[in-house]
Structure 1
Amino acid sequence: MEKSAKVHFILEKSKILYFYHYIRIGNLYILYSYIKIKSKR
């Protein structure tokens, strides 16, 4: 019982970390494309 709860906790933690990482990459990509568009003008 304790073991499965621990695994569940780790899965939840990694899900949050993955989500945070995905947001960070998304923000970097948006920033990069914004700079690219600005420098074209």
Structure 2
Amino acid sequence: MYRRLLLNLLCMVFLQACLKPMSDPKAEKVDSQVQCGFG
């Protein structure tokens, strides 16, 4: 259970780091997620 929580936290931090440089609308944020390796 703790591992899963830690993994989610890591994923969120990684996502924020990926999306931070981009100040784009939500639609384009999905594209950046795919570029970061999600989806």
TM-score, normalised to structure 1, is: 0.50
Higher Cα radius of gyration: 1
Distance in 1 (alpha carbons) for counterparts of 2:2 and 2:9: 10
Percent of pairs with identical residues: 8
Q: Which has the higher helix share?
A: 1
| Cα-to-partner distance string for 1:1-41 (whole Å, 9 max, x where unaligned) | xx00000000000000011110213xx7xxxxxxxxxxxxx
2:9 aligns to what? 11
- The root-mean-square deviation of aligned C-alpha atoms, in Å, is 1.4
The number of residue pairs the alignment matches comes to 24
Q: How does 1:13-32 map to 2 (within 5 A)?
A: 13-25=11-23
Moved over 3 A (4+): none
Unaligned runs of 5+ in 2: 25-39
